[in-house]
Amino acid sequence: MALFLSTYLNKLDKKGRISVPASYRSVLSQEGYSGFVAFRSYKSLAIECYSFARMEQMSKSVDQLDIFSEAQDDFSAAIFADAEQIPFDGDGRIILPKDLITFAGIEDTAAFVGRGATFQIWRPEHFETHQEIARTRIQERQATLKLAPPSVNEVA
């Protein structure tokens, strides 16, 4: 399973090129495609980034909704119609599409933010604010997390 960890700050050049963290490229290369899928987050001013395997899983989830339902239509329009394939160049860089850069408010630096099975790309200041709010909510709610049982092939 893909696992994206940590937060990395990388510079965006004038042509919209940016280097993807090596650890993220390593995880993504295990699938055989040299790149990922990106789309506008519908919850935050961030770019959602998924491996192709994760996008296939997302497609199966949307397919489980009632066909022609408003929910299925909304998720399809918000995710798949907006998604773009982002390939790596020979130096491990990508070209972020202008519409995604504009949506996320990214200027000269972007934050690559690991989210476990996926990652996001943020304007660094926006992510700092988002992260503080998330930490505060967790503390205020005294939230806990149940650890999922290991799968057959995993050791706890």
Q: Specify the number of domains making up the chain.
A: 1
22, part of any domain: yes
1, part of any domain: no
In whole angstroms, what is the distance from residue 53 CA to residue 68 CA? 24
152, part of any domain: no
Coil/strand/helix, residue 137:
helix
Provide the pLDDT for residue 45: 97
136, part of any domain: yes
Q: DSSP characters for 1-65?
A: ---B-SEEEEEB-TTSEEEPPHHHHHHHHTTT-SEEEEEE-SSSSSEEEE-HHHHHHHHHHHHTS
Phi/psi at 47 (5° precision): -100, 120
Q: What is the CATH number of the domain that holds 52?
A: 3.40.1550.20
pLDDT digits (tens, 9 = 90+) for 113-138: 999 999 999 999 999 999 999 999 99
155, part of any domain: no
Amino acid letter, 154: E
Q: DSSP characters for 48-103?
A: EEE-HHHHHHHHHHHHTSPTT-HHHHHHIIIIITT-EEEE--TTSEEE--HHHHHH
88, part of any domain: yes
Provide the pLDDT for residue 35: 95
- Show the domain range for 99: 7-141
Provide the pLDDT for residue 15: 87
125, part of any domain: yes
Instruction: Specify the pTM.
Output: 0.90
Provide the pLDDT for residue 1: 66
In whole angstroms, what is the distance from residue 22 CA to residue 133 CA? 28
Spell out, as residue ranges, where the chain has pLDDT lower than 50: none
Asked if residues 112 and 21 have their Cβ atoms less than 8 Å apart, the reply is yes
150, part of any domain: no
Provide the pLDDT for residue 155: 55
In whole angstroms, what is the distance from residue 70 CA to residue 62 CA? 11
In whole angstroms, what is the distance from residue 94 CA to residue 36 CA? 10
Provide the pLDDT for residue 154: 62
